[in-house]
């Protein structure tokens, strides 16, 4: 389809003729042909992206709302049930569970990547030899797929002969069962996820650090502020826009956590890591309850939207755009 | 992470230290920081190293942990991977989908960005706002209706079905529009005086001036497709149509305890991205850094 539109664009381009005004659409009366041509030009530039976004994002978005009001197993015709799916979800204790598991993930993951990423960014922002190489290595996991990350960490954290427990055994420590143990499964996922995203957070914070005027830090130093004092009173306030961005993005991604859960635990053991999106997937493709799954996905979207809006509202209190 | 505690602290202003002492502590701190950072980097790198070592140590499984340096490295796991499974096909699928997605997104993003940067029309701000809003819609919300839509079109379990939803992405439009806004409008005007229409200006003036942004988008689009999981998992059902991440996730179920094979598959999946990363590191890191700076 885009190919067709691309050809149409080329055709219009071929007879574009005399240059139209560059400051805006031609406005003079009696130049209808020119205006029509301008409209065609705009459409030719816009449609290649507008058509797919309409068909594969906005359309399905609306369809999801409709599906969420039906009972549907993906095969038989959908049956209208009104708000029943939402009512069921809101009263089902399982819903609270999957949101709590997701929250557990976020609460474990976010401080880990933020503090870790900040520490690395601060170190890389000093006169360090081999900075570029070090930055490249810390960033490396970011380009790896979640599935590979999950598989590699499943192996590293293998309870019987994974390298982590082998090393722990040298020190006489009997390592836990990691992803096979309900108590340790979520920490395992958090650890793997933090490893992957540390470099992403580091690069964003490093860019923020590099934008800080060194004179401000020098002034604080002259005033006798120690390293910690300068960190908390100068660096962190000036870094707050980057911090804000990291938190917003991490929360959005955190609520949508799925790939690594699917490949590491599949929601187990015993449902200990059943997060919201895993539940959406299972409801749809394992239990054939697509209506409920759509309702849950809308619920998730609303939660994400609310959390994001709250953060944008609240940013005035602590984010300093200098 | 212990790095923070080691970062340089300055001598107290009132301290009566001799210069050489101060220089010596500064040096000691610097050396310590270097050591910690290198150790940290080694720790971050270790999972990759271990993946490669495991893939070269046949029989890494239920009872044996490979040794740190494989005594007798063998590519047996790779041979089995390609012999037992349609793995070459899977790699080819991933390459095909990632390449087409990248080219399509470059095209759809660049054209839309040109409209939003250079072609004023009524309602442009609103339309751009809608584009941006699509970035906030999680894929999870779309999966069920998308699946139904493409099944109705008979495109489940086809390349086209996997590709269609990835052809356009608002992120790319946003990225390229930012870049185009940096290109001086005088260049367009000069081209217009030379008789160039919008299509020629777009092609010969604007695009050559936003090459770095195009490179960034190309890397991100390729990476996004190469690593994407949920949609290919849902839409591609036959083993010979699967992409790498989906096949890898399946591999794990099939060879539960044969970690050498699973790790060999992981290495195959990492290598192309690694090559692109080494080649275009600047664009990748710059792209991430810029997203944070707005």
Q: Does A30 map to a domain?
A: yes
Cβ contacts of residue A206 below 8 Å, gap of 6+? A121, A124, A125, A135, B289
CA angle, B44 as apex, A258 and B36 as ends, to 5°?
Answer: 140
The pLDDT value recorded for residue A15 is 36
Q: Taking Cα atoms as reference points, which of A246, A273, A248, A247 lies closest to residue A260? A: A273
Question: In this predicted structure, which of A68-77, B4-13, B208-217, B220-229 has the lowest mean pLDDT?
Answer: B4-13
| Domain identity same for A23 and A164 | no
| DSSP-assigned letter for residue A70 | E
Which pLDDT band holds residue B94 (cuts at 50, 70, 90)?
very high
Average pLDDT, chain A: 86
Percent of chain A at pLDDT exceeding 90: 45
Classify residue A198: in a domain, yes or no.
Answer: yes
Judge whether B176 is closer than 8 Å to chain A, CB to CB: no
- Is pLDDT above 60 for A211? yes
Distance CA A134, CA A120 (A): 10
Residue B234 has pLDDT above 50, yes or no: yes
Q: Does residue A128 sit in the same domain as residue A221?
A: yes
Cβ-Cβ contacts under 8 Å, B108 against chain A = 2, 48-49, 52
Calculate ∠ Cα B218-B244-A148, nearest 5°: 90
Kindly state whether residue A59 falls inside one of the protein's structural domains. no
Q: What is the pLDDT of residue B2?
A: 38
Residue A106 has pLDDT above 90, yes or no: yes
Return the pLDDT at B7.
Answer: 41
Strands A79-80 and A70-71: antiparallel
Q: Are residues A217 and A312 in the same domain?
A: yes
Q: Supply the range of the domain harboring residue A284.
A: 87-318
Instruction: Tell me the mean pLDDT in the region B44-71.
Output: 81
Q: At residue A291, does pLDDT exceed 80?
A: yes
User: Are the Cβ atoms of A60 and B104 closer than 8 angstroms?
Assistant: no
Query: Hey, where are the domains in chain B?
Result: 86-254
Residues A122 and A33 in one domain: no
Q: How many CB atoms lie within 10 A of CB B243?
A: 29
Please spell the DSSP secondary structure of A177-209, one letter per residue.
-GGGSHHHHHHHHHHHHHHHHHHHHHHHHHHHH
Q: Do B137 and A297 touch (CB under 8 A)?
A: no
Domain count of the fold of chain A? 2
Answer yes or no: do A297 and B140 touch at CB < 8 A. Answer: yes
**Shared-domain flag, residues A199 and A145:** yes
φ, ψ of residue B24 to 5 degrees: the values are -65, -45
Q: Is residue A174 over pLDDT 90? A: no
Q: List CB contacts of B99: < 8 A, sequence separation 6 or more.
A: B222
How much is the pLDDT for A108?
A: 96
- The first and second tokens of residue B161, run together, are 């079905």
Residue in chain B lying closest to A114 (CA): B1
> What pLDDT, on a 0 to 100 scale, did the predictor assign at position B290?
74
CATH of residue A241? 1.10.3720.10
Across A74-100, average pLDDT = 89
| Cβ atoms A113, A198 nearer than 8 A | yes
Picking from A5, A42, A37, the residue whose alpha carbon sits closest to that of residue B202 is: A42
The Cα of A150 is separated from the nearest Cα of chain B by a number of Å equal to 9
Q: Does residue A107 sit in the same domain as residue A40?
A: no
Q: Which residues of A fall within a CB distance of 8 Å from B37? A: 120, 123-124, 128, 134
- The answer to whether the Cβ–Cβ distance between B229 and A46 falls below 8 Å is no
B112 at the A interface (CB within 8 A)?
A: yes
Structure-model confidence comparison of residues A29 and B269, the more confident one: B269
Q: What's the confidence (pLDDT) of residue B139?
A: 83
In angstroms, how far is the first alpha carbon of chain B from the final one? 28
Structure-token pair, residue B119: 């072609």
Closest to B173 in 3D by CA, of A161, A100, A309, A45: A45
Per CATH, domain B86-254 is 1.10.3720.10 = yes
Shortest distance between the Cα of B1 and any Cα of chain A, in A, equals: 6
Chain B hits for A38, CB-CB cut-off 8 Å, are 119
Q: pLDDT-based confidence at A10, cuts 50/70/90? A: very low
Same domain, A105 and A242: yes
Q: How much is the mean pLDDT over chain B?
A: 85
Cβ-defined contact of B3 to A304 (cutoff 8 Å): no
pLDDT in tens, B107-154: 999 999 999 999 999 999 999 989 988 887 878 789 889 999 999 999
Q: Which residues pair with B23 in a beta bridge?
A: none
B102, pLDDT greater than 90: yes
B residues 227..256 contacting A (CB < 8 A): 227, 229-230, 234, 244-246, 248-249, 252
Interface residue B290 vs chain A (CB under 8 A):
yes
pLDDT for A77: 83
Please give the pLDDT value at position B18. Answer: 60
Predicted confidence (pLDDT) at residue A63 exceeds the cutoff of 80:
yes
Q: How far is B210 from chain A (nearest CA, A)?
A: 17
Is a pLDDT exceeding 90 seen at residue B97? yes
Q: Are A187 and A39 in the same domain? A: no
Q: In the beta sheet, which residues pair with residue A79?
A: A71
- Average pLDDT (A128-152) is 90
Q: Sort out which chain B residues have CB atoms less than 8 A from A200's CB and list them.
A: 288
Tens of pLDDT, residues A110-125: 999 999 999 999 999 9
Q: Residue B283 has what pLDDT? A: 81
Same domain, A208 and A137: yes
Residue of B nearest to A302 (CA): B137
B-chain residues near A262 (CB < 8 A): 229, 249
What size, in residues, is chain A? 322
Reply yes or no on whether the pLDDT at B13 is more than 50. Answer: no
A136 and A10 part of one domain:
no
Between the two ends of chain A, the Cα-to-Cα distance in Å is: 47
What is the predicted pLDDT for the residue at A16? 37
On whether both A102 and A164 belong to a single domain, the answer is yes
Q: Indicate the DSSP class of residue A104.
A: H
Chain A touched by B156 (CB under 8 Å): no
- pLDDT value of position A29: 60
Both tokens assigned to A239: 């870094």
């Amino acid at each position: 389809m885009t190919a067709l539109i691309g050809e149409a664009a080329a055709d219009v381009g071929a007879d574009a003729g005399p240059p139209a005004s560059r400051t805006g659409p031609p406005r003079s009366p009696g130049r209808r042909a020119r205006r029509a041509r301008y409209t065609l030009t705009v459409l030719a530039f816009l449609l290649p992206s507008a058509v797919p976004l309409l068909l594969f994002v906005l359309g399905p978005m609306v369809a999801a709302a409709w599906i969420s009001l039906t009972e549907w197993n993906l095969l038989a015709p959908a049956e209208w049930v009104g708000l029943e799916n939402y009512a069921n979800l809101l009263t089902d204790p399982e819903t609270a569970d999957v949101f709590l598991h997701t929250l557990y993930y976020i609460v474990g993951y976010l401080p880990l990547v933020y503090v870790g990423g900040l520490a690395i960014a601060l170190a890389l922002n000093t006169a360090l030899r081999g900075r570029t190489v070090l930055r490249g290595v810390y960033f490396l996991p970011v380009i790896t797929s979640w599935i590979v990350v999950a598989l590699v960490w499943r192996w590293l954290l293998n309870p019987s002969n994974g390298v982590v427990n082998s090393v722990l055994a040298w020190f006489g420590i009997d390592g836990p069962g990691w992803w096979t143990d309900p108590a340790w499964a979520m920490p395992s996922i958090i650890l793997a996820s933090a490893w992957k995203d540390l470099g992403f957070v580091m690069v964003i914070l490093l860019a923020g650090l590099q934008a800080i005027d060194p004179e401000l830090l020098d002034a604080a130093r002259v005033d006798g502020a120690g390293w910690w004092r300068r960190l908390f009173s100068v660096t962190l306030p000036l870094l707050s826009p980057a911090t804000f961005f990291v938190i917003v993005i991490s929360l959005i991604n955190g609520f949508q956590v799925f790939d690594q859960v699917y490949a590491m635990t599949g929601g187990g053991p015993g449902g200990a890591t059943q997060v919201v999106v895993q539940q959406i997937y299972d409801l749809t493709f394992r239990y054939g309850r697509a209506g409920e799954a759509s309702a849950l996905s809308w619920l998730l979207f609303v939660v994400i939207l609310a959390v994001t809006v709250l953060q944008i509202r609240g940013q005035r209190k602590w984010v300093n755009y200098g | 992470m212990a790095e923070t505690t080691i970062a340089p602290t300055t001598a107290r202003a009132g301290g009566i230290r001799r210069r050489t002492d101060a220089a010596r502590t500064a040096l000691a701190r610097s050396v310590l920081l270097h050591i910690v950072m290198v150790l940290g980097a080694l720790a971050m790198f270790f999972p990759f190293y271990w993946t490669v070592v495991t893939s070269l140590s046949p029989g890494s499984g239920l009872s044996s942990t490979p040794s740190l340096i494989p005594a007798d490295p063998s590519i047996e796991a790779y041979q089995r991977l390609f012999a037992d499974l349609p793995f070459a096909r899977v790699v080819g699928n991933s390459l095909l989908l990632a390449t087409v997605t990248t080219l399509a997104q470059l095209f759809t993003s660049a054209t839309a960005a040109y409209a939003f940067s250079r072609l004023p029309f009524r309602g442009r701000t609103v339309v751009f706002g809608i584009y941006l809003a699509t970035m906030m819609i999680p894929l999870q919300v779309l999966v069920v209706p998308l699946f139904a839509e493409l099944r109705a079109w008979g495109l489940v379990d086809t390349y086209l079905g996997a590709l269609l939803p990835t052809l356009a992405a608002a992120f790319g439009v946003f990225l390229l529009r930012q870049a185009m806004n940096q290109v001086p409008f005088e260049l367009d005007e000069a081209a217009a005086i030379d008789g160039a229409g919008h299509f020629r200006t777009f092609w010969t003036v604007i695009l050559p001036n936003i090459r770095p942004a195009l490179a960034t988008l190309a890397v991100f689009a390729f990476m996004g497709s190469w690593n994407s999981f949920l949609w290919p998992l849902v839409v591609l059902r036959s083993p010979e149509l699967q992409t790498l991440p989906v096949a890898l996730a399946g591999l794990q179920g099939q060879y539960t305890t044969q970690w050498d094979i699973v790790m060999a598959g992981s290495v195959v999946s990492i290598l192309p991205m690694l090559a692109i990363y080494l080649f275009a590191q600047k664009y990748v890191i710059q792209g991430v850094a810029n997203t944070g700076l707005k």
